[in-house]
Amino acid sequence: MKVKSTYWELLLKLKSVYSTVNTDSQSIIITEELEIIISELFILPTDGLLIIRFNSKITNNKDFFEIAYSDSIRKNVKKIFELYLPYIIVNKNAEVPFSFVHIAQTIDGKIATASGKSKWIGNQENLVHAHRIRALVDAILVGANTFKLDKPRLDVRHVKGDNPIKIIIANSKLDLDCLSIGETILFSNNEIEYQSLPENTEAICIEQDGNTIITTDLLKVLKQKGIHSLLIEGGSQTIRKFIEDKSIDRIEFHIAPMIFGSGKSGIELSAIDNLEEGIHLQNPITFKMGNALMLVSNL
């Protein structure tokens, strides 16, 4: 999805403004002139493009806010808000951060070939979109294998905005030479001794469930550190753990127009016997991403 710089600047400004809103008694209005107003009104004014209303009694990340749009809003502009507002307007009173997954995959659900090659399944628009999300959230998380194999920079070099905090789950010592500058948190299920850590890097040992970290406990730690939104970028085993722990609020599938017929699946869960045991997506919405399609849904 292409987003004009005017609307991207608006979203970045909204991220800053939202930190000052009292969700118990205030709403946010965006006017037709793209001005952001913190208001005590709860009805969309005649010059309003949209209004964001909050339900402060909600203690989780679901149904925390609602958006009312003007009848005159253009369809493509509404799509921008539908896609990006949920990453900005998160419930800061929830017990854990708003957490979500973004997966670029083929039509048959593969994120890499059998040999591990994955560049580039997603197209250029998806790459820019992924960096927009990074700029809107507080933190981004990857597992150790993804960090070792891909050496991701986890920054926002393709868009204007601030880099998120980097979170890496690793139960063995990592080579941190490729770690990009910025705040980083290393989680493990055992005490790992680093002779020295890069500046603004912290190592945290957290209680384990067998050989893996309990993701809900990890999320609670992040919340205590003031992290209210978290993008989980991979890999497949990390995504699997978060899904199985029911620690995901939202999921995005960027579906590229290609078929591998073999390779690595983006999501691999325990086998089920009945259809009812499958995960049912709630109110999925589709977005055009260049020559590809993206499906976004709550879980």
Q: Which residues contact 190 (CB under 8 A, 6 or more apart)?
A: 171, 205, 208
pLDDT of residue 14: 98
At residue 224, φ and ψ (nearest 5 deg) are -65, -25
Amino acid 209: pLDDT: 65
**pLDDT at residue 173, rounded to an integer:** 85
Residue among 205, 219, 214 at smallest CA distance from 171:
205
pLDDT score for 192: 84
Q: What pLDDT does 106 receive?
A: 96
Q: Kindly state the tokens that stand for 102.
A: 């973004």
Q: Decide if 166 contacts 181 (C-beta within 8 A).
A: no
Structure tokens at 21: 């809103």
**Calpha distance 274→283 (Å, rounded):** 22
The CA distances from residue 233 to 17, 42, 64, 215, 244, in Å, are 27, 36, 24, 15, 16
Q: Rounded to the nearest 10 degrees, what angle do helices 124-136 and 75-88 cross at?
A: 50
Q: Which residues of the chain have pLDDT under 70?
A: 207, 209-210
Q: What is the pLDDT of residue 97?
A: 97
- Residue 112 pLDDT: 87
Longest dimension (CA), the chain: 61
C-beta separation of 36 from 17 below 8 A: yes
- pLDDT tens readout for residues 214-253: 899 999 999 999 999 999 988 888 999 999 999 999 999 9
On whether the CB atoms of residues 182 and 213 are closer than 8 A, the answer is no
* 201 neighbors 192 (Cβ within 8 angstroms): no
| Per-residue model confidence (pLDDT) at position 210 | 67
pLDDT score of 262: 94
